[in-house]
Structure 1
Amino acid sequence: MKGWVKGLGAAVLVAGVGLWASADWLKLHAPGLLAGPIAPNRPVVWAAGPEAAPAAARPANIILIVADDLGWNDISLTGEGVAGTATPNIDRVGLEGVQFDNGYAGNATCAPSRAALLSGRYATRFGYEFTPTDTRLPDWFPTGLFRPDAMFARNIAHADGDWDQKPVFNEAEAAKAAPPGDKGMPSSEITIAEQLQGRGYHTIHLGKWHLGEARGMRPEDQGFDESLGFIIGGQLFLPENDPNVVNSRQDFDPIDKFLWANLPFSVQYNGGPRFAPDRYMTDYLTEQALAGIRANRNRPFFMYLAYNAPHTPLQALKADYDALSEIKDHRLRVYAAMVRALDRGVGRVLDELKRQGLDENTLVVFTSDNGGAHYVGLPDLNKPYRGWKATFYEGGTKVPFMMRWPGRIAPATRVAAPVSHFDIYATASAVAGAALPDDRPVDGVDLLPHVLGTATGRPHETLFWRSGDYRVVRHGDWKLQTLLDPAEPLLFDLAADPTERRNLAAARPDKLAELQGLLAAHDARQKKPGWASLVRAPIAIDRPLGTLPVKGEDYVYWSN
């Protein structure tokens, strides 16, 4: 009997140790494990427009193409291309239309940037200040038992490393935070899609959403007649073990670990059951965009084509990887191959417009939601600018931004004045003949008069950015960055110092005071964040994640 009891005790002990050892693994993988089944691929039948085009002139179609974490230096029009890899099709948009030399994202991370883009307003006007964690669990799951958003933030805050700057996790806010899936763009916001829908446009969303998972916040609730993509902020590009994919894991990055553990390879059509695409995600979204163009060739349409490339997890189509054999570094080669697929997709969209006779009646906009990310572990993504995604240095907010409209916009047009993503809203509204909402401030302006040379002055004299205690203003050519850590204000003259290397705060107290006043006045007009920041993460300005710290290096703390 004693032996039996001892054996049972040993078994319980072993089981307990096993559960304890696997607890972190279970927490890391829980959102993915509990997300539900994914059906095999099925065809998508896009709602068809009229069989014949109307005899009368119709408004121009609008296609908004947004890349994910594409850096300034990642394309050959604005930089060198990844390891010298050309992007001829993306370049076509700017070369055959207009390139904005100072095009800015509305924020330096995915979700708030997209909220500004689709609403035409500073996202801080409606409390969308931080990116929600993509970790929605089934309704039956007790969130009091396990909060994946808190776990995600804690995972970043407890990241290993020898750097003196450590992330800070907000335990108190995590304990009372709303479920992550309920954080999103309020349904009271009037999106571009709703604006154009009201003018008779058929509206299509493809790819990444990242603006809320709850009903009322999803694309089909925010003005899109049809939506095919993923509600959360990312997906795999192919299953990890697919023979046609080449993977690059970033073991130094806690975000990358979370993505590999949880992201599926799936899409939804109009909020229906999830199913698997039939090819590499970038190519799948392109193929569906072409089908959407064909289905709507005889009526005005708005297409929001939101690729998730080249955001992590880094996965390249093997054919693209093999085509870049001159690149010897594996991670760099995978990343370059992802941009290659993105460029191919843009080219196929432009070619399909030509094939369908829609080329001269379609405004195509191409941009990225923010700058290249430090957590990719590659240098020079935003060269020559300093900073990354999750910083308000130029490298985090200055993005490729171009428009193409043959017959209306002259080839090789350049606009040097600062413009913002939220200008796309007002521009699209003007193209469609839609009046801007008069019950709220709209921060964007119609860019076409500035592109066509019929407007005088700059579209904006002042632009603002905010994430927690990190607040920034650009006024004319002067830029002020303010933070709690580091506490010293950073004042730059971008006309003389576009890469933000000479802090003039001490030398120009007059200009510092002027911009501080503008920033304070702007903050007073913004709304309190809709949810609290759970983590303050340090970002080194001049080196990517996964590299050794440098004594005395510049950094910022990013709140999210």
Structure 2
Amino acid sequence: MVAITPMLNDNSRRGRSNSLAKQDPSTNTPTLHGARSLGPRGRWEAWVRAGLLVGVLSLGLTHALRAQDSTERPPNIVVILADDLGYGDVGCYGGDTCRIATPVIDQLAADGMRFTDAHSSSGVCSPSRYTLLTGRYHWRSRLQTGIVGVFGNPLIAADRPTIGTLAQQAGYRTACFGKWHLGWNWDLSAEAKPLFAPGNNGPRETTAEQLAAWSVRFAQPVPGGPTTRGFDRYFGTDVPNWPPYCFMDNDRTVGIPSTLLPRELLGNNQASLPGPALENWSLEPILPRTIDRACEWIAGRAQEDERFLMYVPLTSPHTPLAVNEAWRQQSSLGEAVADLIMETDAEVGRLLRTIDDHGLTNDTLIVFTSDNGFAPYAGAASLVSQGHFPSGPLRGYKGDTWEGGHRVPFIVKWPGVVAAGSTCDALVHHADLFRTVADLLDQVVEPTAGEDSFNLLPLLRGERESIREHAISHSANGLASLRLGSWKLIAGEGGGGPWSNQSRIQPEASDDASGLQLYDLASDIGETNNLAAAQPERVAEMLRLLQQLVEDGRSTPGEPQANDVRVNWQRYLPKE
């Protein structure tokens, strides 16, 4: 039996083992309250594990000494955020109903802690990213529904701390590589501004003559992006399926988009828009080129022996389903999205191998998660018909306030601290990353920051079994849900998303005419038995709590704060 490195308490959190020994996930090792070991999934998985082991064993004396010295310092932090990856799209969550090979992510779970009850703030993109970076529920900002639009203004206020600014204050180097989708201060002409007012996403014509209607001054620096929100370095695409179709390098476009990319080249997907593009712009290189830049940056930090925080919001497996040739038809399911999930897994592996190659694995805390659930328009019906369930046992998909919209994979690896192969069933939220980074780096959090963030470290160290009693998530259309223990209240009918009718779990009509939804997730993870009419007192209690959490401007202990706007969480309540 391979022994697990003892977990550390608060007084010794800066000291941790840097042993290069790997845990064997197939052995019987102690795990956190009901944890289970995660084994290999075939030859591909075995190759991944062998490759990582070779990388570790090949580290030189310099790397070993660096790891030994690093016991006096907190770890590097890498946060990887997949885009539209469902709860059931990876083997370590989907189990027998996952038909897509994800050996890298599975191995990450085998080496770390897998959270089974982790949630994003919303069933869609921008709001989830806002909360993950700021520790504040997105609906306290101006974004009550939907996402930041094409050429939209920054959603994160310039004076609001993020995990990046926390790390900068601690002397860390910081970087963001990938999809930002939180707005910039684009230099728009007077004619263009009405086209991109909130709720508008520009002209949808695909003729070259319409290009002038966009009137964006691409030659100018673009302020308000990642480098003004806590990140020293940025490279990526703002949104891969929206214009401008080019890379952004810090605060500038890489080249001047001067032609128009028509919708036809985007697969006619409903989530894609035509618009300005570079000549010969291609979608397939976006993911690997972004990872290239991230790996180069890691190498630079290792060479300079600099502590770093890196945020990697991947562009996949979001549409357009731009699969590189080496990965096409690699899945047995015949769907491009399945191939893209496999490619995404491999690119995550390339990032992790780079960390290994530079002797940083045992001194780096890695978080892997997704911004929301699987997009049903990416081929859900075909996948389900072949036995692959993107949401696993959950009801709903991307956009929904049902669990399939916002319960997401969440894995943390931290060698020497987090028990390898462990599973944690505690309720956690993307918002919790902010307070975790602050505590890890000994940064003071002011009352006006991280208002909804709880510290994950007691869970990671095995010191507690829960850190929060409640959590709030929204649908794309602003339908609120409140968790209180195992109970979940949805403040209205349906899933609240644009694609709610595509959920594979559609309970038969019941006699519940309350206009609300109440589920006990401990016995009904699929949200099929609505208990709202049968338990009016519990419903009333949870509605009062929801109202209080909104009005207080925070859900953590501390001074009440002001929301940025009036929060209309009651919009879907039944009319009296």
- Is the pair's TM-score, using the shorter chain for normalization, greater than 0.5? yes
Does residue 430 of structure 1 match 2:443?
Answer: no
Shift, 1:345, TM fit = 1.2
Does residue 66 of structure 1 match 2:81?
Answer: yes
Give yes or no for contact 2:406–2:473 (8 Å, CA) kept in 1: no
Match of 2:174, SS? Answer: strand
Segment of structure 1 superposing worse, 382-391 or 515-524:
515-524
Match of 2:446, SS? Answer: coil
Segment of structure 1 superposing worse, 423-432 or 436-445:
436-445
Does residue 375 of structure 1 match 2:377?
Answer: yes
Does residue 226 of structure 1 match 2:233?
Answer: yes
Structural mapping, 1:188-203, within 5 Å: 188-203=159-174
Aligned mate of 1:338, from 337, 340, 343: 340
**Overall identity of the aligned pairs, in %:** 30
Decide whether aligned partners of structure 1 residues 347 and 470 sit closer, same or farther in structure 2, where only a CA change above 3 A counts.
same
Aligned mate of 2:547, from 500, 503, 520: 520
Give yes or no for contact 1:234–1:308 (8 Å, CA) kept in 2: no
Give yes or no for contact 1:73–1:81 (8 Å, CA) kept in 2: no
Give the letter aligned to residue 529 of structure 2.
R
Give yes or no for contact 1:129–1:466 (8 Å, CA) kept in 2: no
Decide whether aligned partners of structure 1 residues 498 and 515 sit closer, same or farther in structure 2, where only a CA change above 3 A counts.
same
Give the letter aligned to residue 341 of structure 1.
E
Decide whether aligned partners of structure 1 residues 91 and 378 sit closer, same or farther in structure 2, where only a CA change above 3 A counts.
same
Alignment deviations for residues 325-344 of structure 1 (CA, whole Å, 9 cap, x no partner): x334xxx2x11111111101
Shift, 1:58, TM fit = 3.0
Match of 1:112, SS? Answer: helix
- 1:4 aligns with none
Shift, 1:441, TM fit = 5.2
Match of 1:66, SS? Answer: strand
Give yes or no for contact 2:142–2:155 (8 Å, CA) kept in 1: no
Decide whether aligned partners of structure 1 residues 462 and 386 sit closer, same or farther in structure 2, where only a CA change above 3 A counts.
same
Taking the aligned partners of 2:486 and 2:278, their CA distance within structure 1 comes to 44
Structural mapping, 1:28-39, within 5 Å: none
Taking the aligned partners of 2:121 and 2:536, their CA distance within structure 1 comes to 27
- 2:8 aligns with none
Give yes or no for contact 1:104–1:420 (8 Å, CA) kept in 2: yes
Taking the aligned partners of 1:348 and 1:254, their CA distance within structure 2 comes to 31
Does residue 209 of structure 1 match 2:225?
Answer: no
Taking the aligned partners of 2:232 and 2:271, their CA distance within structure 1 comes to 33
Give the letter aligned to residue 325 of structure 2.
K
Does residue 463 of structure 1 match 2:479?
Answer: no
Aligned mate of 1:304, from 305, 311, 321: 311
Match of 1:101, SS? Answer: strand
Taking the aligned partners of 1:284 and 1:82, their CA distance within structure 2 comes to 32
Alignment deviations for residues 455-491 of structure 1 (CA, whole Å, 9 cap, x no partner): 3x52110111245651210101000101277971000
Give unmatched runs, 5+ long, in structure 2: 1-62, 186-221, 248-263, 382-388, 497-513, 554-561
- 1:39 aligns with none
Shift, 1:319, TM fit = 1.4
Structural mapping, 1:417-496, within 5 Å: 417-440=426-449, 442-455=451-464, 457-466=465-474, 470-483=479-492, 488-496=515-523
- 1:497 aligns with 524
Taking the aligned partners of 2:278 and 2:516, their CA distance within structure 1 comes to 44
Give yes or no for contact 1:363–1:404 (8 Å, CA) kept in 2: yes
Decide whether aligned partners of structure 1 residues 235 and 94 sit closer, same or farther in structure 2, where only a CA change above 3 A counts.
farther
Alignment deviations for residues 200-234 of structure 1 (CA, whole Å, 9 cap, x no partner): 00001101111111165310111111101123464
Segment of structure 1 superposing worse, 51-60 or 506-515:
51-60
Does residue 327 of structure 1 match 2:319?
Answer: no
RMSD value over aligned CA atoms? 3.3
- 1:317 aligns with 324
Shift, 1:133, TM fit = 4.7
Decide whether aligned partners of structure 1 residues 69 and 401 sit closer, same or farther in structure 2, where only a CA change above 3 A counts.
same
Match of 2:293, SS? Answer: helix
Decide whether aligned partners of structure 1 residues 315 and 531 sit closer, same or farther in structure 2, where only a CA change above 3 A counts.
farther
Decide whether aligned partners of structure 1 residues 383 and 484 sit closer, same or farther in structure 2, where only a CA change above 3 A counts.
closer
Give the letter aligned to residue 470 of structure 2.
T
Does residue 125 of structure 1 match 2:140?
Answer: yes
Decide whether aligned partners of structure 1 residues 438 and 249 sit closer, same or farther in structure 2, where only a CA change above 3 A counts.
closer
Give the letter aligned to residue 297 of structure 2.
G
Aligned mate of 1:288, from 293, 296, 299: 293
Give the letter aligned to residue 319 of structure 1.
A
When the two structures are aligned, how many residues end up with a matched partner?
418
Decide whether aligned partners of structure 1 residues 307 and 118 sit closer, same or farther in structure 2, where only a CA change above 3 A counts.
same
Shift, 1:296, TM fit = 0.3
Match of 1:363, SS? Answer: strand
Give the letter aligned to residue 422 of structure 2.
T
Taking the aligned partners of 1:282 and 1:439, their CA distance within structure 2 comes to 36
Taking the aligned partners of 1:278 and 1:104, their CA distance within structure 2 comes to 29
Taking the aligned partners of 1:336 and 1:195, their CA distance within structure 2 comes to 36
Decide whether aligned partners of structure 1 residues 469 and 312 sit closer, same or farther in structure 2, where only a CA change above 3 A counts.
closer
Give yes or no for contact 1:370–1:389 (8 Å, CA) kept in 2: yes
Shift, 1:84, TM fit = 1.4
Shift, 1:436, TM fit = 2.1
Taking the aligned partners of 2:322 and 2:413, their CA distance within structure 1 comes to 29
Taking the aligned partners of 1:425 and 1:505, their CA distance within structure 2 comes to 34
Taking the aligned partners of 2:133 and 2:144, their CA distance within structure 1 comes to 15
Taking the aligned partners of 1:440 and 1:431, their CA distance within structure 2 comes to 16
Give the letter aligned to residue 481 of structure 1.
I
Structural mapping, 1:246-285, within 5 Å: 251=268, 254-256=270-272, 258=273, 261-262=274-275, 264=277, 280-285=285-290
Give yes or no for contact 1:126–1:186 (8 Å, CA) kept in 2: no
Give unmatched runs, 5+ long, in structure 1: 1-50, 137-180, 240-246, 267-274, 537-555
Give yes or no for contact 1:186–1:217 (8 Å, CA) kept in 2: no
Match of 2:368, SS? Answer: strand
TM-score relative to the length of structure 1: 0.68
Match of 1:437, SS? Answer: coil
TM-score relative to the length of structure 2: 0.66
Give the letter aligned to residue 458 of structure 1.
S
Structural mapping, 1:4-43, within 5 Å: none
- 1:352 aligns with 354
Give the letter aligned to residue 387 of structure 1.
G
Give yes or no for contact 1:187–1:216 (8 Å, CA) kept in 2: no
Structural mapping, 1:75-94, within 5 Å: 75-80=90-95, 84-94=99-109
Taking the aligned partners of 2:101 and 2:107, their CA distance within structure 1 comes to 11
Give yes or no for contact 2:145–2:478 (8 Å, CA) kept in 1: no
Shift, 1:440, TM fit = 4.0
Give the letter aligned to residue 327 of structure 1.
L
Match of 1:305, SS? Answer: strand
Shift, 1:93, TM fit = 1.7
Give yes or no for contact 2:124–2:146 (8 Å, CA) kept in 1: yes
Shift, 1:431, TM fit = 2.2
Match of 2:94, SS? Answer: coil
Decide whether aligned partners of structure 1 residues 347 and 440 sit closer, same or farther in structure 2, where only a CA change above 3 A counts.
closer
Shift, 1:530, TM fit = 5.8
Structural mapping, 1:401-416, within 5 Å: 401-416=410-425
Shift, 1:249, TM fit = 6.5
